Structure 1
Amino acid sequence: MRSRLPLLAIFPVAVLTLVVGTPFVLGDHPVRWQAGSALPRLVLDDPAESTTPDDGTRPGTTAASPSASAEDLQVAKVWKAGMPQWGVQIYWEDDRKTLSGDFVEKQARKQAEYLIGLGANSVSVSFPFYTKSGTSDEVWAGAKTPTPQRLERVLKVFKDAGFRTRLRPIMDESSLKPEDGWRGDVEPASRSAWFASYRKLVTPYLKAADETRTNTFVIGTELNSLEGDPGWNTLVDSAEKTFSGEIAYDANWDNYVTGRINMPVNHLGVDAYFPVKVPDTAPVKDLVDGWDKWLDRKATGTLPKILVSESGIGAMNGAYHAPGDFYSHRKVNTKVQANWYTAVCQVVQERHMQGVYWWSIHFEDDPNTPPDDRTASRLDFAGRPLSEKAIKACFASDYAGPGTGTTS
């Protein structure tokens, strides 16, 4: 068993009050805060050094090279241990009734080709699971949850192309009522029953990840209210027996900067949607300063053990104030999105972080087609030339990775 994070020290708390009725987005779920209310009083520090190889491979092995079957899908620069993770989150809601396994594999190749064109060396596949309500003891794979077998086919395509791979279950919020809050607020009536149900759900996916030599399995995503529960110890112990790569947890940004992330893992990602109160015309420098102010609430200086596991912003006016707003459809402004990507990439390098995964591409979409702004999420970046240019510049930088002291 790998060593675990120590109990994390408590730092002074910064409290943020918001104006009545202002949408405030936590993760991908907007919450309306009343005047005078504050973020939860939570604090955290950096994960401890890990005894697991940084590349997430099994101890004593090296990162896998692309197989001969990869053919034209070989990336220009195959990811190896110590490199930054320059990646994209692929979100997959499956349609098993109409999409064949062969189609799924071809679609994975299309996505891989697009990511290669961006210069990415990493990919994270997020997939939904479901629950009945915020107090339910049960979780399950629904009609849109890819099966482990279909995920294996997709992960193999990405692995053969030379990408570093992550697999990440994330609770779908469609069944939650407004009074339930969002996935970070769930309070199962019986936590022991919830963890037993969750373990039953994720175990086949851990096996699929192990079979495809996936580098990282994210054992939980944005589950603020369940962080620190003893149930995670048993779950992670079981996961480590099934999966030989690295086990990670992806925290939501609010808990990261103001809270204690007490999870029995050695690898921490942050789904980062820090609001920055600047106008749409703000230069990149102001966006960098805004991110640094948020990160400094946690720790100043470098953050070599922290991964930006998810970041993005809407290509629209006013997006800097609520980067994770998935629902608004204000006037399109692609420069807002492109400048945000440039700023976040600069922060990752200056703070010597592990890398960044941009949110997101829907697996079934054609990434080469511009989004239909009448219906698509403003957070979509594929097909937006200015945003793609910023991502390519980020991924082409000479940043050598965390701990190297080299930035572009």
Structure 2
Amino acid sequence: MKNYLLVLILFFIVVSHAQDTKINGISFVASRDSVSLKHTAPLLMINANYAAVMPFGFIESLDHPELLYSTDRQWYGETIEGTKQYINKLQQNDINVMLKPQIWIRKGEFTGHLAMSSEKDWEILETSYRNFILDFARLAEETNVPILCIGTELEQFIMRRPTFWNQLISEIKRFYNGKLTYAANWDEYTKVPFWNQLDFIGVDAYFPISEEKTPTLQEAKKGWQKWKNEMKTVSEKHNKKILFTEYGYRNTDFSGKEPWHSGREQKSINHDNQGTLLTALFEEVWQEPWMAGGFLWKWFIDHDKSGGGLNNQFTVQNKPSQLVVQYFYSIYE
């Protein structure tokens, strides 16, 4: 009887630990080159257990209906062949994958504004997008990818064409056996109509946290409170965990004010901001029971030549904040 009770206790400990395991991910940027184990090994150094692989499809303008993908004019890592190679190399280093096909609109136009002006063009876009997602969904099933993200920041598309999205999700589920999410922008996720059909509530978590040039840790934590309450409410409403399909900050002044900005016009370098804001996020959000984890934006395959002290973009590579991520990813393994 004692042995039975001991086994039962150990079982519940293991189950509890498994339920608390976080997705400690990075967004693995596509390159013109293939990857090797050398390129994926640094992820183990920072204790990452997931990577988002992000192939791209391209659209000419916000009102253009045709999506082109996996062409010979794209970088290798953006194609179906390259995506499969990236997945295989990450898996060889025991890194799980979320496959996250995305749209790039010429000149970097915001995908949330993608909308057609006629029924004919909507139907062309839907056919084009369906082919795009289903091709990568088949690859996800073939390569045993555990999470598939079916879209990224497409607010107008999903709000105006709900029937299409319901049908697309149903079709994916016919052959893909992993978990599904959608990457909603931080100001969009409360309105997404199909969360109940997915496994995670995906959020690109560029929430405004602080108006200060260099907020203190306490100020940054305070800035999370209303967003935490909102996410908890949405999570409970749908009985789904929140997954940060993207999160991160630049090492610049005021990087907590409008964290989504990636323009080159910001010239400052402020390593303290990036480290403080990431620490606040991990300490305030990561341990919450409704939080599944997330994917740090972003990580380039050639680690030794990426980031660095003079780089003020989102990557933490070879910056002080890399140690912040490494530390917290070790805590929430």
The TM-score with structure 2 as length reference comes to 0.83
Cα displacement string for residues 205-256 of structure 1 (whole angstroms, at most 9, x for unaligned residues)? 2222111111111111111112242101221122122322112111100112
**Counterparts of 2:18 and 2:27, CA distance in 1:** 19
- 2:275–2:321 contact (8 Å) kept in structure 1: yes
**1:119 matched residue in structure 2:** 47
Q: Is the 8 A contact 1:131 1:175 kept in 2?
A: no
3-state secondary structure, aligned to 2:106: coil
SS, match of residue 396 in structure 1:
helix
Whole-angstrom CA distance in 1 between matches of 2:38 and 2:222: 37
SS at match of 2:279: helix
Q: For residue 371 of structure 1, what is the aligned residue in structure 2? A: 307
CA contact (8 A) 1:326 1:377 kept: no
Which amino acid is 2:35 matched to? Answer: E
For 1:300 and 1:280, locate their aligned partners in 2 and report how far apart those are by CA, in whole Å.
30
Give the CA deviation at 1:105.
3.2
2:270 is aligned, of 321, 333, 350, to: 333
2:150 aligned partner, one-letter code: I
Query: Match for residue 241 of structure 2?
Result: 305
Q: Percent identity?
A: 21
* 8 Å contact from structure 2 (residues 202, 245) kept in 1: yes
Report the Cα distance in structure 2 between the residues aligned to 1:302 and 1:166, rounded to whole angstroms: 20
1:390 pairs with 2:321: no
Query: Aligned with 2:305: secondary structure?
Result: coil
- Structure 2 CA distance for aligned equivalents of residues 81 and 192 of structure 1: 41
1:102-124 CA distance string (max 9 Å, x none): xx132xx2332111000111111
> 1:316, 1:128 → 2: CA distance?
28
Query: Does the 8 Å CA contact 2:267/2:312 hold for their aligned counterparts?
Result: no
Q: For structure 1, which segment, 187-196 or 219-228, has the greater mean C-alpha deviation from structure 2 after superposition?
A: 187-196
Does residue 94 of structure 2 align to residue 166 of structure 1? no
- Deviation track 1:280-330 (CA, whole Å, cap 9, x = no partner) reads 332222212212223334545987610111111110112111112111432
Tell me by how many angstroms 1:392 deviates.
1.0
For the Cα contact (< 8 Å) 1:332–1:378, is it kept in 2?
no
Is contact 1:203–1:242 with CA below 8 Å preserved after alignment? no
Q: Is the 8 A contact 2:52 2:100 kept in 1?
A: yes
Q: Which secondary structure does the structure 1 equivalent of 2:105 belong to?
A: coil
User: Which residue of structure 2 lines up, in the alignment, with residue 91 of structure 1?
Assistant: 29
CA shift, 1:331, in A, is 1.5
1:346 aligned partner, one-letter code: E
Q: Structure 1 stretch 224-233 or stretch 144-153: which is displaced more? A: 144-153
Q: Which amino acid aligns with 2:256?
A: Y
Distance in 1 separating the partners of 2:172 and 2:87: 19
Q: How does 1:33-72 map to 2 (within 5 A)?
A: none
Secondary structure, counterpart of 1:230 in structure 2: helix
Q: Within 1, Cα distance between the matches of 2:271 and 2:235?
A: 30
Q: Note the C-alpha offset of 1:80.
A: 6.4
Offset at residue 373 of structure 1 (A): 6.9
CA contact (8 A) 2:25 2:48 kept: yes
CA distance in 2, matches of 1:329, 1:149: 36
SS state at 1:196 partner: helix
Within the alignment, does 1:252 sit opposite 2:185 as a pair? yes
Deviations 1:249-272 (A, max 9, x none): 11100112xx41112423221001
**Native 8 Å contact 1:329 1:378 kept in 2:** no
Query: 1:207 is paired with a residue of what secondary structure?
Result: helix
Question: Is the contact between residue 202 and residue 242 of structure 2 (CA under 8 Å) also seen in structure 1?
Answer: yes
Whichever residue aligns with residue 268 of structure 2, its letter is: K
Unaligned runs of 5+ in 1: 1-78, 401-408
CA-to-aligned-CA distance 1:75-94 (integer Å, 9 cap, x gap): xxxx96751001101121x4
Q: Which residue of 1 aligns with 2:112?
A: 184
Instruction: Provide the residue aligned with 1:223 in structure 2.
Output: 154
Partner of 1:3: none
1:362 — aligned with what?
300
Cα deviation 1:114-147 (Å, max 9, x = unaligned): 1100011111112221112111221111522522
Cα gap change, 1:81/1:154 in structure 2, threshold over 3 Å: closer, same or farther? farther
Unaligned runs of 5+ in 2: 1-16
1:91-110 superposed matches below 5 A: 91-92=29-30, 94-95=31-32, 99=33, 104-106=34-36, 109-110=37-38
Higher helix share: 2
1:321 equivalent in alignment to 2:251: no
Q: Is the 8 A contact 2:150 2:181 kept in 1?
A: yes
The residue that corresponds to 2:128 in the other structure is 197
TM alignment of 1:259-270, pairs within 5 A = 259-263=190-194, 264-270=197-203
Deviation per CA, 1:6-38: give whole Å up to 9, x if none.
xxxxxxxxxxxxxxxxxxxxxxxxxxxxxxxxx
Of 145, 158, 173 in structure 2, the residue corresponding to residue 214 of structure 1 is 145
What pairs up with 1:1-80 in 2 under 5 angstroms? Answer: none
* Letter of the 1:172 counterpart: W
- TM-score, normalized by length of structure 1? 0.68
Q: Supply the distance in 1 between the matched residues of 2:91 and 2:288 (Cα, whole angstroms).
A: 28
SS in 2 for 1:295: helix
Call closer, same or farther: CA 1:302–1:351 in 2, change over 3 Å.
farther
Q: Given that residues 210 and 244 in structure 1 are in contact (C-alpha distance below 8 angstroms), is that contact kept between their aligned partners in structure 2? A: yes
Partner of 1:276: 209
CA distance in 2, matches of 1:306, 1:298: 7
Separation of aligned partners in 2, 1:350 and 1:265: 22
Q: Which amino acid aligns with 1:329?
A: Q
2:74 and 2:20 map into 1 onto residues whose CA distance is 35
SS in 2 for 1:321: coil
